C-alpha cells in the first residue's frame, strides 16, 4: 500500500511516498528558511504563498524520486492540524483535491501524531510508551496507549521549547532558526559556565508541565546586563549552559512521569529532538534506569511528510477516511479526534 503524504503546517513544503507504513520510497522537503531568515522568524503570509508555489513541484519530485506515477498511489494524506492556518490550508486543499480528482481515499493527519511516528519509522515500539514531543510549537509529555489513544500528561505553561531556543538566539543576534545554531555553539562551550533558574512547577496540576519563559528571560537579562557593562558573554558558554538547563528541565519531568506511571519505554520526537544536549541527557537518564529510548533519525526530526505518510497508514488500517468538507484546525490537542 503506497501513501502520498503531504506536510505544509509551518514553513516546510514536504511530500513523501511511504509503502506499508515503513518503507520510505521518497521524502522531499523544501525549506523556506532563507525567505523567513531576514525577519528572524516565520512570517505566516510568506509561508502560505511559498506553499502555493512549491506544493505541485514538491509532490511531482516525490513521485519522480520514488519512480512512480499517481496511478501507483493507493491513498493520499495531508496534515490538517495543528499549525498556521494559511499554511495548513494549502497542503490540505491540495491533498483533498488530488484525492477527489483521482478517486483515491483521503486521510487527514495530526502533525504531532506524525512527529510521534517519526520515532517509530525505523523501530517497532510496543505500546504503551511515554512520548516526549518537543517542537517549535509544542512541548508535550504524553502517554501513548495506542496509535490513536494519546493522553497528554504535561505541556508547557508558557513558551514551547523550540520558541525558547529561537527567541534567545534572535535576541543574541545568532540567526534563525535558533535551535540548531545554539546546538552547534554549545558543542564548543562549557555547560557549567553559567547557571540558569530551573522552574519549580511542583503543584499537582503542573506535576508534568514545563516552563521556559523564566529561563528565556534569565538568558536575555544576562545578555543585557553584560552589554550594559560593556562586557561580552562567551557565546559558546551561554549556548551550552542554556541548552543544558533546557535538557535537564525536559528530562527531569519525563523521568518523573515514567517513574510515577511505570513506563520503561520512551520515545522522543519533534524538531527539538535533533538537539544533541536533549538527546544525550535523555539517553543517559534512560540508561541509568534501564529504560529503552527511541529517537528519530536526524532526517525525520524536523517537519517532513514521511511521518505523515506513516501515521496515515495506521489511520487507514483503522478505517479512517476523511471527506472533502474537512477543514484545517490551527490548534488541537494531541489525541483529540476530528
Ligand atoms: O517540529 P519542527 O520542525 O516544527 C514545528 O512543528 O514546530 O520544530 C521546529 C523547532 C524550531 O524551534 C527549531 O529551532 C527547533 O525545532 N530545532 C532545534 C534543533 N533543530 C531544530 N532546537 C534545538 N536544537 C536543534 N538541533
Ligand atoms: Zn513539527
Residue-wise pLDDT tens digits, 105-114: 999 999 999 9
At a CB cut-off of 8 Å and minimum separation 6, what does 211 contact? Answer: 156, 157, 158, 199, 201, 249
pTM of the full structure:
0.95
Residue 302: CB within 6 Å of ligand 1?
yes
pLDDT value, residue 338: 45
Which residues, 6+ apart, have CB-to-CB distance to 319 below 8 Å?
none
Position 226 pLDDT exceeds 70 = yes
Residue with cell 523556506: 32
Ligand that lies nearest to the alpha carbon of residue 270, given by its number in the listed order: 1
Q: What is the pLDDT of residues 241-296, one digit of tens each?
A: 999 999 999 999 999 999 999 999 999 999 999 999 999 999 999 999 999 999 99
- Using the atom order of ligand 1, give the atom closest to the CA of residue 169: 14
Distance between CA 199 and CA 202 in Å, rounded? 9
Q: State whether the beta carbon of 168 lies less than 6 angstroms from ligand 1.
A: no
What one-character DSSP code corresponds to residue 105? -
Residue 232 has pLDDT above 90, yes or no: no
Q: Whose CA is nearest to atom 7 of ligand 1?
A: 136
Cβ 271 under 6 angstroms from ligand 1: yes
User: For residue 240, which of 197, 210, 196, 273 has the smallest C-alpha distance?
Assistant: 196
* 272 CA from centroid of ligand 1 (Å): 4
Distance CA 94, CA 249 (A): 40
- Comparing CA positions, the residue from 50, 95, 13, 82 lying closest to residue 336 is 82
Ligand whose nearest atom lies closest to the CA of 277? 1
What's the chain's average pLDDT? Answer: 95
pLDDT digits (tens, 9 = 90+) for 195-223: 999 998 989 999 999 999 999 999 999 99
Which residue has its alpha carbon closest to ligand 1 atom 14? 179
Amino acid at each position: 500500500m503506497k501513501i502520498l503524504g503531504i506536510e505544509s503546517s509551518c514553513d516546510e513544503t514536504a511530500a513523501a511516498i511511504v509503502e506499508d507504513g515503513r518503507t520510505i520510497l521518497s521524502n522531499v522537503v523544501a525549506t523556506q528558511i532563507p525567505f523567513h531568515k531576514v525577519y528572524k522568524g516565520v512570517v505566516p503570509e510568506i509561508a502560505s504563498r511559498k506553499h502555493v508555489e512549491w506544493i505541485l513541484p514538491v509532490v511531482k519530485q516525490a513521485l519522480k524520486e520514488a519512480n512512480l506515477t499517481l496511478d501507483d498511489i493507493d491513498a493520499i494524506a495531508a496534515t490538517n492540524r495543528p499549525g498556521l492556518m494559511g499554511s495548513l490550508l494549502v497542503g490540505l486543499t491540495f491533498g483533498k483535491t488530488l484525492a477527489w480528482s483521482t478517486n483515491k481515499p483521503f486521510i487527514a493527519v495530526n502533525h504531532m501524531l506524525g512527529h510521534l511516528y517519526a520515532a517509530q519509522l525505523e523501530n517497532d515500539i510496543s505500546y504503551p510508551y511515554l512520548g516526549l514531543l518537543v517542537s517549535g510549537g509544542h512541548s508535550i509529555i504524553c502517554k501513548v496507549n495506542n496509535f490513536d489513544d494519546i493522553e497528554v500528561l504535561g505541556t508547557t505553561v508558557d513558551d514551547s521549547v523550540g520558541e525558547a531556543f529561537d527567541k534567545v538566539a534572535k535576541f543574541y543576534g545568532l540567526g534563525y532558526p535558533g535551535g540548531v545554531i545554539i546546538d552547534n555553539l554549545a558543542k564548543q562551550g562549557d555547560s557549567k559556565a553559567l547557571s540558569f533558574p530551573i522552574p519549580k512547577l511542583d503543584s499537582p496540576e503542573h506535576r508534568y508541565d514545563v516552563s521556559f519563559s523564566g529561563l528565556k528571560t534569565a538568558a536575555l537579562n544576562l545578555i543585557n546586563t553584560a552589554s550594559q557593562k560593556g562586557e561580552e558573554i562567551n557565546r559558546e558558554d551561554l549556548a551550552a549552559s542554556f541548552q543544558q538547563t533546557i535538557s535537564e528541565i525536559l528530562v527531569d519531568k519525563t523521568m518523573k512521569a515514567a517513574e510515577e506511571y511505570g513506563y520503561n519505554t520512551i520515545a522522543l520526537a519533534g524538531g527539538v529532538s535533533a538537539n544533541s544536549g536533549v538527546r544525550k541527557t535523555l539517553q543517559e537518564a534512560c540508561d541509568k534506569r534501564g529504560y529503552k529510548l527511541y529517537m528519530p533519525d536526524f532526517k525525520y526530526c524536523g517537519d517532513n511528510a514521511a511521518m505523515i505518510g506513516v501515521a496515515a497508514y495506521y489511520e487507514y488500517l483503522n478505517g479512517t477516511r476523511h471527506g472533502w468538507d474537512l477543514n484545517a484546525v490551527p490548534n488541537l490537542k494531541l489525541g483529540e479526534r476530528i
